[in-house]
Amino acid sequence: MGRMDGRAAVITGASGGIGWATAKRYVAEGAAVIAADIDDERGAEMVADIGGAVTHVHCDVTDPVQVRAVVDRCVSDHGRIDVIFNNAATSTGGYVADLDLDGFDASLSVMLKGPLHGMQAALPHMVEQGSGSIISTSSVYGLAASAANAPYCTAKAGLINLTRTVAIEYGRKGVRANCICPGVVETPMFEQVLGIGLITREQVSNMAALGRTIRPEEIADLALFLGSDESSAITGQAVVIDGGLLNEINLTGVPPLS
């Protein structure tokens, strides 16, 4: 018996590191997965890797019509939607006074309005069936901030309170909503950060209490927990999975034991 037997899920941003790992984990636990992404080539690779219980569908999450079509496809193919994992991400950067407004809007369109589109598409179905889990990828940057990262930080912070609002509004209809707040995960987006050349992987790893980065599979394990009955009393939460990154403000200079 798998922990997701008989369930159907939609994952956006599914061909990225976290999305791919989660789709694989869900299928291994018995779920049928509609994997939505704008990268059709990676989507085909993912389907070949995971197998027949996952279906790739092209989807731009900034378009509510496309998102609704993906959710409707899940319901049409599988008779229900038990989980929607809003995971698509992108970002631009720059200091606030110099931000490109089009880039700022694009970041919010993917990482804040995109999850809203997913929620609006999935909620009517979940309310009708009396159950459902909405999971969204926020970030430790939804709880803290860094210089030259306002679009990402703003979108991820807003997503946490949007999720809390959904939890309040729909909890009595059997629908739960939670955010995952990863720290530094070994994904292509992290590789882009390293490519800027201002910080090394070793420096980033040393910031966390565990002294390492996070694997996409570890985020997938949390997404599995939040999508299953094991988390049936958990809603409206921003669940941090960062290896202890947010725990320390070292003003003394005393190093940890190693």
The CA R_g of the chain, rounded to the nearest whole Å, is 18
Residue for token pair 């993917």: 110
Kind of pairing between the strands at 54-58 and 83-86: unpaired
Question: Which residues, including other chains, have CB under 8 Å from residue 63's CB and lie 6 or more apart?
Answer: 117
Could you list the active site residues? Answer: 152
Q: At what angle do helices 17-28 and 216-227 cross, to 10 degrees?
A: 50
CA distance 75 to 52: 17
CB 31 within 8 A of CB 52: no
Which of 145, 174, 144, 142 has the alpha carbon at shortest distance from 161? 142
CA distance 150 to 53: 38
CA distance 129 to 146: 41
Residue 44's CB is within 10 A of a number of other CB atoms, namely 12
Which of 20, 25, 15 has the alpha carbon at shortest distance from 227? 25
Residue 220's CB is within 10 A of a number of other CB atoms, namely 23
Judged by DSSP in three states, 67 sits in: helix
